[in-house]
Structure 1
Amino acid sequence: MAFRNLSCLSLIALSAIVSSSWAVRLGRRPGVRTLESLDISHEVQHKATGATLPPLDTIYTFDQLIDHENPSLGTFKQRFWFSYQYYEPAGGPIVLFNPGEEDASRLFGCLTNQYMTGYIAEAFHGAVIVLEHRFFGESNPYPDLSVKSFRVHTIQQAIDDHEYFAKNVKLPMPGGDQLGPEKAPWVLVGGSYSGALTSYTMASKPGLFYAGYASSAVVQAIADYWAYYEPIREFLPANCSADIQAVIAFVDQVLTSGNADEIQDLKDRFGLGDVTHDDDFAHARTCPLILFRTGPVVEVYGAWQNASVTTPGGGASDICDALEVDRASGKLAGPEGWGLDHALAAWGAYYNETLPPFTTDFAVPDIRLCFDTYDTQNPAYTSVTVNNWVRSWDWLLCTQFGWWQVGAPASQPSIISRLVDRQWYERQCVYMFPEAFSSPPVVFLDALRVNQQYGGWNTTTERLIFVNGLRDPWREATVAADGATSPGWDMQPHLLGDGYHISDLFLSEGVASPAINATQRQALEYLAAWLSDWQPSA
């Protein structure tokens, strides 16, 4: 898809272009889009008074507790960005947005009305805060990302950050020391992981935030998350989906039942003859679904989940064109596809001729994401330097969430190899965090407790809006999942549009899609009704 010049809007739902190397291996994070910076060449002015305000990219810091269970350890500087350009003192809400697993320094676009955070603030005359998540960007309690430091890198610590911040921050605006949750309605907004964090915070801290808006909130921790690929399989063009399934089934058959010569021939067909481990080779079959081509460079950012409703095909058009358009005649396959022989040859040609050469050269980290996960000395495993979102995110995956995008069970069709299994991911957790985990299986994964403690699919939190997209590969981890039991109700509406991952957070997506626009309007109607009832408690 073409990048959209929406600053925060372009950053939150697309996986960031990764120069560090293991995001795809341990699990694509649910959120984060690539960014083209918002134009801040003009002054920011207060909408009502015309007064000149600080630039949107002004960085503020808050003295956050290192450990909420042991305040004696002191504080660290947690960064935040703030704007009150829409604020009016007669009861306007304070909208708090924690972007989750990202350096937040480029997210000042979230302060504007191009994004739902700023749009909510404008609609109800409120102010907006972007609060950087601990252990991401420069908001680090400790000077490294070691296992020892990660002792305080948990869901609960992040939740407690919300509470301590809301109750103690002095906002940089007139009267900003008199706007705590007891004196102004606070609205917590999140998308993807931070959408789940919104749900978790409101469930475990009742009354702290008056209302919440959770977009594509991945509330259910799931170890073997094979359902990630189900919306992709369902919404791919039928011919493309059929041919991908045929190739994957053949690949798995050869890798599990073929002899050494047959396996080598298969690898050679894709230009990956030097890939030693069969599971790494199998994982490389997912690359067309997670790679996006921009000129001669292939960039990793979750092509399907990050698509726009204005670009049908979900970012997988490259591989589908390669498989379904006959190179000799230019003819397009029918709904059943061409079949295995044609698809296998076409996919091999796509890898060998369209994509840059696959190599184990460390100078090509983006391509190397798809294989060679066994090198325990790779800096992606060993570096503990701060502002490495991959390491900080993988700690949460390995300890609390899982969300490992494995092949489907044998009873289900699959568009990725079943050799990409839980053990493939667990091994990498051990390699990245050997001080914490000695060997697979990863018995330290705490997904069940996460769901029990924070509600998962079945949360009953009031004044919390969930918005989801039919085409979102994270759908089955949200309240819109087939396995979820709660349909929602007036105090916890579950809204569903036709978009991808957190499409509803983009005002531009609502312009393009009547269904997304309807969910955005419904959400504002709920907020309007709830905010009209708010009363200060002190």
Structure 2
Amino acid sequence: MAPGWRLASALLALAASGAALARLPDGRLHGNMPRAPAVPPLSADDLVVTDASGAALPPLNTTYLFDQLIDHTNPKLGTFKQRFWTTWEFYEKGGPIVLFTPGEVNGAGYTGYLTNRTVNGQIAQQQKGATIVLEHRFYGNSTPFGNLEVSSLRFHTIQQAIDDLEYFANNVVLPMPGGDAVKPNTQAPWVLVGGSYSGALTSWAMVNKPNLFRAGYASSAVVEAILDYWGYFEPIRQFMPKNCSADVEAVIAHVDKVFTSGTKAEIDALKANWGMQDLTHLDDVAGSLRNNLWDWQSLSPDTGSEGQFFQFCDALEVKNGTVAPASGFGLEHALTAWGSYWNSTYLKDVCGKTDVVDCLGSYNSSQTYYSDTSLGNDGRSWEWIVCTQVGFLQDGPPQNHPAVVTRLVQPSYDERQCTYFFPEAFPKPTAPNVQFVNEAYKGWNVSIDRLFFANGQRDPWRESTVSADGATTRSTNEQPIAVGDGFHCSDLITENGSVDPTVLAVQQRSLTFMKTWLEGFKPSKPAKRSYSPRRKST
């Protein structure tokens, strides 16, 4: 099994390829990254599109290549081939260019974002625009050096990604009529759209390049980099069934107490309850139970209570056909029921045929996943950003706060693993520089004209968005914040609006703002000087 921690492919993104769910060796799902969901796979018929006149256009999965700078501080270093996909199905001269990057994932599975199955396509259809999906540097095949070694990853930063967007917009020639005359501001309005990490990138780019994009749409945008991101589990605790949260809290409190001060016999019995008696480190045992909470991120308005998360709650809260009251059935039943569900169903789902120690243990630095620098290992690319810039370590809450996950796992647990992934860069555990990110790109303090934020109350990433419980970001007519009852990036997918009216309201509100903002666009005079490289920061 591949080791890891809060990384790897989002559950919803996996739907694009039909890939089976995978787990990491400490038990973490490939699904708790801040990533936009993929549109369900497009059929062969879906890939065939025509323009407004009925003329056939290239299939949506046609891959184009752009010569992107490796280092925007030193253009002499050369370029690499950055992949993109585009269509002008709805385009009419003067319409906007709607640009989207899926973020930390292979972009080939995101061609659905060219269509009106997404907000991107809805904007393009309403405003007669063209859509683009641009693969993020160091993901998929858009990797400058063909490997993910530390010497290559030093060019993998938030700022380089932002500069990619600028260089692409200013220099790309789109394969469509008039595709050489769509420069931002001087010839056409550009709209930047993103979800989750790429939603944050939308906000960060508009802060850093205030005159580049006419408008932005940031869904579930994790704008505030947070080291100890225990808040990930807060929306889950708040919105999961009350009986389930009551019993999970009781079990977790018991686990922490026994693992902290129990006898050897008590500890061994508790480990055996989940079939993890062979694990040496108690934080691995307790931390593995986070998997059942991470399943929440796979939910969307159309899955509702049918997801695996609710199968887990049913296992705890339905006994002999009777549903537990809001207070739950209590510790004794919940502990036994959780162990039974885990051993009969869930452990196999987590580990398959892999040994529990290799699957769930996180202290073996020799596992090949840590040293896999091959092209396409997108989890490693995201780990680099986690370890260097954003943190988002999904750990236990402070004392005296309700806990649905163990407090035995704290940031040091995850920082240790940075030394396994990147020993050349981190010979000893080092905290990522979240302060720099928040100061440079404003985080919760963002204030940019024509930037639309869309968030969901049930989103586990909500606490790093501008709709976090502690955020003071104000919603204005120039920077609206629309909140529905949805989950992670629910508003990006058109069909979610047909299931949840609050998501539909967010989508419709965004289209109203886009109409106003884009119809007010007037081309500016071209700048006298061409692109100049950004100076290397100190």
State TM-score, norm by structure 2. Answer: 0.91
| 1:162 maps onto 2:154 in alignment | no
1:503-514 equivalences under 5 Å are: 503-514=490-501
Runs of 5+ unmatched residues, structure 1: 1-7, 291-302
1:311 deviates by 3.1
AA aligned opposite 1:502: C
Q: Distance in 2 between matches of 1:48 and 1:360?
A: 50
Correspondent of 2:317 among 319, 324, 329: 324
Q: Distance in 2 between matches of 1:13 and 1:235?
A: 25
1:24-58, Cα deviation, whole Å (9 max, x unpaired) = 38993111446642013367343420001101000
Correspondent of 2:452 among 462, 465, 471: 465
Q: Distance in 2 between matches of 1:13 and 1:455?
A: 33
Correspondent of 2:123 among 120, 123, 128: 120
Q: Secondary structure at the match of 1:495?
A: strand
Q: Secondary structure at the match of 2:511?
A: helix
Correspondent of 1:340 among 312, 331, 336: 331
The alignment covers a number of residue pairs equal to 512
The aligned counterpart of 1:95 is: 98
Q: Could you tell me whether the CA contact under 8 Å between 2:391 and 2:434 is conserved in 1? A: yes
The aligned counterpart of 2:360 is: 371
Q: Secondary structure at the match of 1:316?
A: helix
Q: Distance in 2 between matches of 1:80 and 1:359?
A: 34
AA aligned opposite 1:431: Y
Q: Secondary structure at the match of 1:68?
A: coil
Q: Distance in 1 between matches of 2:79 and 2:466?
A: 35
1:89-488 equivalences under 5 Å are: 89=93, 91-181=94-184, 182-290=186-294, 303-313=295-305, 315-326=308-319, 329-357=320-348, 364=354, 371-440=360-429, 442-443=430-431, 445-488=432-475
AA aligned opposite 2:101: N
1:247-270, Cα deviation, whole Å (9 max, x unpaired) = 000000000001222111111111
AA aligned opposite 1:336: S
The aligned counterpart of 1:11 is: 13
Q: Could you tell me whether the CA contact under 8 Å between 1:167 and 1:180 is conserved in 2? A: yes
Q: Distance in 2 between matches of 1:483 and 1:185?
A: 34
AA aligned opposite 1:112: T
Distance 1:227 1:417, change over 3 A: same
Q: Could you tell me whether the CA contact under 8 Å between 2:23 and 2:30 is conserved in 1? A: no
Q: Could you tell me whether the CA contact under 8 Å between 2:198 and 2:221 is conserved in 1? A: yes
The aligned counterpart of 1:532 is: 519
1:84-126, Cα deviation, whole Å (9 max, x unpaired) = 010011x210000011000011211111100111111111100
Q: Secondary structure at the match of 2:482?
A: strand
Q: Could you tell me whether the CA contact under 8 Å between 1:12 and 1:99 is conserved in 2? A: no
Q: Could you tell me whether the CA contact under 8 Å between 2:102 and 2:133 is conserved in 1? A: yes
Distance 1:480 1:14, change over 3 A: farther
1:377 deviates by 1.0
Distance 1:13 1:157, change over 3 A: farther
Q: Could you tell me whether the CA contact under 8 Å between 1:13 and 1:501 is conserved in 2? A: no
AA aligned opposite 2:159: Q
State TM-score, norm by structure 1. Answer: 0.91
The aligned counterpart of 2:75 is: 71
Q: Could you tell me whether the CA contact under 8 Å between 1:114 and 1:507 is conserved in 2? A: yes
Q: Distance in 1 between matches of 2:308 and 2:222?
A: 21
Correspondent of 1:493 among 462, 470, 480: 480
Q: Distance in 2 between matches of 1:27 and 1:42?
A: 27
Q: Secondary structure at the match of 2:194?
A: strand
Distance 1:399 1:272, change over 3 A: same
Q: Distance in 2 between matches of 1:359 and 1:114?
A: 32
| Percent identity of equivalent pairs | 51
Q: Distance in 2 between matches of 1:221 and 1:168?
A: 30
Q: Distance in 2 between matches of 1:213 and 1:13?
A: 23
Distance 1:127 1:209, change over 3 A: same
The aligned counterpart of 1:295 is: none
Q: Could you tell me whether the CA contact under 8 Å between 1:26 and 1:429 is conserved in 2? A: no
AA aligned opposite 1:324: E
Which sits farther off after the overlay, 310-319 or 331-340?
A: 310-319
The aligned counterpart of 1:298 is: none
1:25-64 equivalences under 5 Å are: 28-33=32-37, 36-41=40-45, 44-64=48-68
The aligned counterpart of 2:529 is: none
Q: Distance in 2 between matches of 1:37 and 1:513?
A: 22
1:365-401, Cα deviation, whole Å (9 max, x unpaired) = 9x77972111111111011001111100011011100
Distance 1:519 1:9, change over 3 A: farther
Q: Could you tell me whether the CA contact under 8 Å between 1:20 and 1:390 is conserved in 2? A: no
Q: Could you tell me whether the CA contact under 8 Å between 2:351 and 2:359 is conserved in 1? A: no
Q: Distance in 2 between matches of 1:9 and 1:324?
A: 25
Q: Distance in 2 between matches of 1:39 and 1:284?
A: 37
AA aligned opposite 2:391: G
Q: Secondary structure at the match of 1:67?
A: coil
Q: Distance in 2 between matches of 1:324 and 1:485?
A: 37
Q: Secondary structure at the match of 1:234?
A: helix
1:360 deviates by 7.6
